[in-house]
Amino acid sequence: MRESDYIANTSVSYRKDYGQFFTPSLIAHIMAKWVTQNQPKTILDPAFGLGVFYEEIGKLNLSYQWNMTGYEIDSNILGYLKYISKNNNLNLVNKDYLQSEIIYYDAIICNPPYLRFQKFINRHNILPKIEQQIGHKLAGYSNISSVFLIKALQQLNINGRLAFILPFEFFNTGYGKTIKRRLIENHLLKQIIIFTNEKDIFTDATTTICILLCQNNNLKQDIKITNINSNEKIKTISNISEYYHHRLEECKLPYDQKWTPIIFSLISQQKIPEGFCKLSNYGAFKRGVATGANNFFALNKSKIKQLKISDKNVCKCITKSQLIQKLVFTDDDFLFLSDQDKSTYCLDVKDFHEKAVKNYLKLGEKEGYHQRYLTKNRNPWYQLERREPAPILFGVFNRGRLKVIRNFTTAINFTCYHGFYPNVFANNNMLDKLFIYLISDIGQNIIKMNKRSYGNKLDKFEPGDLNNSLFPNVEQFNFISQTEVEEVIQTSKINEKEAIFRSNQLIKKIIKNH
């Protein structure tokens, strides 16, 4: 009831500013049982919120005396906690946990705020203090939840237990390395709980999440991997330590590698065939052109005519993902979009002395485009980075199927797509084969092992995620002929469903013949 009241009376923007999403009682119960198995006397909740962990521990009717310290930075939320704030075994502190001193606890349980550290106003003052407390350097672009975790680990008593909710993306990010190293080298991590359908369980979550269960017992143990796909399944779990699907030796989770492919390879039905190699053997994906001001640089035919900018100062460009709706993008498709007056061109200043260009740049400066984050660090501010047209495009954000385009035009692309640039070993025939693999169900399932999940089935890929994905090697690709490949390419222009079906058949042929 308190949660529904709070949400009803608190704007989404306010909750977003504090990185708030609330823990379902079923999840809180599992976490509470884990941290209390060793009969902790002192318990810490670094992000108290509406007190669900305190309540669930209370429901366990523990046979010993315990007390909890809870930190909560949001003064507004404390008004909903008057009924428990006077309890003798609760010390509720209206303060930012990250600015608190190091005090040790027998158990720590937390759903930290999900917030980029750049949005944290006092980060430049807080980071040095936490780094001194924990003895580790922290990346300034860390998500604030990861900083909560690494500080909490420092405060865990010997044999103490910790249960933490974290965004799943930290398994793959650079800032996650510090945490993963700490977890593995100190033998802290005991279990990882993955939620396959997290939106059904964490209805308020804005990202795909997991739960880490840790214990400070310095025992080298296999790490348990648990996959939960429904609320009904949660209700049947009496002891989370005994409910798991896989066990991994600590050495199977190297801190300097991405964990998502490793974990997903265990819980996914799609297995990686033998002999596959990294895409980087054939070339590399690079992000699209970052203008810093798409509204200014993206142009359509009528605006170019109105501004009287000559052809030499513009180039063909894919400015938005939704402009391309088919698997194959041809010159005819580009001309159709251009004639529809879509934004299919980009300002590309080669002759600064052209009067029309000078006038347009003055207009841009009047509207402040030259003072944006990216533009103000360029000299001159309107000079974009150089990119060749990419023969394969890959959508940065995807829901469901991954968006892959075979680009036969000379159009460059903005950051809505990553562009693949082949090396000397990838000729046009190989490009077509790579494309067929990318649109196949098998290829997509394997590539998704490197995804960064942001909840509500939204997946994001960085160029590095794609370049480290696994593809058939050259010998395996040789099992399919160029004639078969060209048939799929031609089909892709008119019938996406049939093209995917045919690509599946060809990739299965590769695997079968290996």
Total domains in the fold of the chain: 3
Q: What is the pLDDT of residue 266?
A: 79
Q: Indicate whether 375 pLDDT > 90.
A: yes
What does the longest C-alpha to C-alpha distance in the chain come to?
83
Q: What's the pLDDT at 172?
A: 72
Please report which confidence band the pLDDT of residue 468 belongs to, taking 50, 70 and 90 as the band edges.
confident
CATH of residue 72: 3.40.50.150
Does 123 lie in the same domain as 243? yes
Number of residues in the chain = 514
Instruction: Select from 351, 375, 350 the least CA-distant residue to 364.
Output: 375
- Computed from CA positions of residues 42, 43, 48, 52, in that sequence, does the dihedral angle turn out positive or negative? negative
- 303 and 203, same structural domain? no
Judge whether residue 453 has pLDDT over 70: no
Instruction: Give the H or E element holding residue 157.
Output: strand 156-167
User: Is 15:39 a contact under the CB 8 Å cutoff?
Assistant: no
pLDDT of 258 reads 81
Q: Which of 415, 263, 407 is nearest to 329 (CA)?
A: 407
Q: Are residues 195 and 111 in the same domain?
A: yes
Which pLDDT belongs to residue 284? 95
Same domain as 403, residue 459: yes
Q: What is the pLDDT of residue 121?
A: 55
Query: Between 143 and 48, where is the model more confident?
Result: 48
Residue 391 and residue 407: Cα distance in Å, rounded?
A: 5
Q: Which of 384, 403, 420 is the last residue of a domain?
A: 384
Task: State how far the Cα of 163 lies from the Cα of 233, in Å rounded to an integer.
Answer: 19
Q: Residue 143's pLDDT is what?
A: 72
Q: What CATH code is carried by the domain that includes residue 463?
A: 3.90.220
- 396 and 346 in one domain? no
210/421: higher pLDDT: 421
Do residues 297 and 419 both lie within one domain? no
**Do 369 and 293 contact (CB within 8 A), yes or no?**
yes
Same domain membership, residue 174 and residue 45: yes
Q: Are residues 68 and 208 in the same domain?
A: yes
Q: Which helix (H) or strand (E) holds 314?
A: strand 314-318
337 with 232, same domain: the answer is no
| Tens digits of residue pLDDT in 161-214 | 999 998 877 777 666 788 888 899 999 999 999 886 555 566 665 566 789 999
Q: What is the mean pLDDT of residues 490-504?
A: 95
Say if residues 391 and 418 touch (Cβ distance below 8 Å). no
Can you tell me the mean pLDDT for 264-272? 72
CA distance 440 to 505: 9
pLDDT, residue 505, reads 95
Which letter, b or e, does each residue of 435-466 get, where b requires 16 or more Cβ atoms within 10 Å of its Cβ?
Answer: bbbbbbebbbbbbbbbbbbbbeebbebbbebb
Taking the whole predicted model, whether its pTM rises above 0.85 is answered as no
Q: What is the pLDDT of residues 216-243, one digit of tens each?
A: 999 999 999 998 877 788 888 889 999 9
Q: What is the pLDDT of residues 110-138, one digit of tens each?
A: 999 876 655 555 656 777 777 777 676 76
Do residues 301 and 374 share a domain? yes
Pairing between strand 392-395 and 404-407?
A: antiparallel
**41 pLDDT exceeds 60?**
yes
Whole-number pLDDT of residue 93:
92
Is there a single domain that holds both residue 305 and residue 259?
no
Looking at residue 138, its pLDDT comes to 66
CA distance 350 to 248: 56
Tell me: do 260 and 295 sit in the same domain.
no
Domain termination site, one of 358, 384, 410: 384
pLDDT for position 184: 94
Over range 67-91, report the average pLDDT: 85
In 3-state terms, what secondary structure has residue 230?
coil
> 380 — alpha (psi -120 to 50), left (phi > 0) or beta?
beta
pLDDT exceeds cutoff 90 at 304: yes
Q: Is the pLDDT of residue 140 over 60?
A: no
**Residue 454 pLDDT grade (very low, low, confident, very high; cuts 50, 70, 90):** low
pLDDT confidence bin for 10, thresholds 50/70/90 = confident
Q: What's the pLDDT score for residue 74?
A: 84
Q: Which two tokens stand for residue 131?
A: 């780094």
Domain boundary among 384, 415, 432: 384
Residue 101 belongs to domain spanning: 2-267
> Average pLDDT of 327-351?
97
pLDDT band for position 452 (cuts 50, 70, 90): low
pLDDT of 471 reads 95
Q: Between 122 and 428, whose confidence is greater?
A: 428
Q: What is the mean pLDDT of the chain?
A: 88
In contact, 196 and 228? CB cutoff 8 Å = yes
Q: What is the mean pLDDT of residues 434-441?
A: 96
What angle (nearest 5°) sits at the alpha carbon of residue 278, between those of residues 275 and 280? 145
The pLDDT tens digits for 270-290 are 677 888 999 999 999 999 999
Q: How many angstroms separate the CA atoms of 293 and 319, rounded?
A: 11
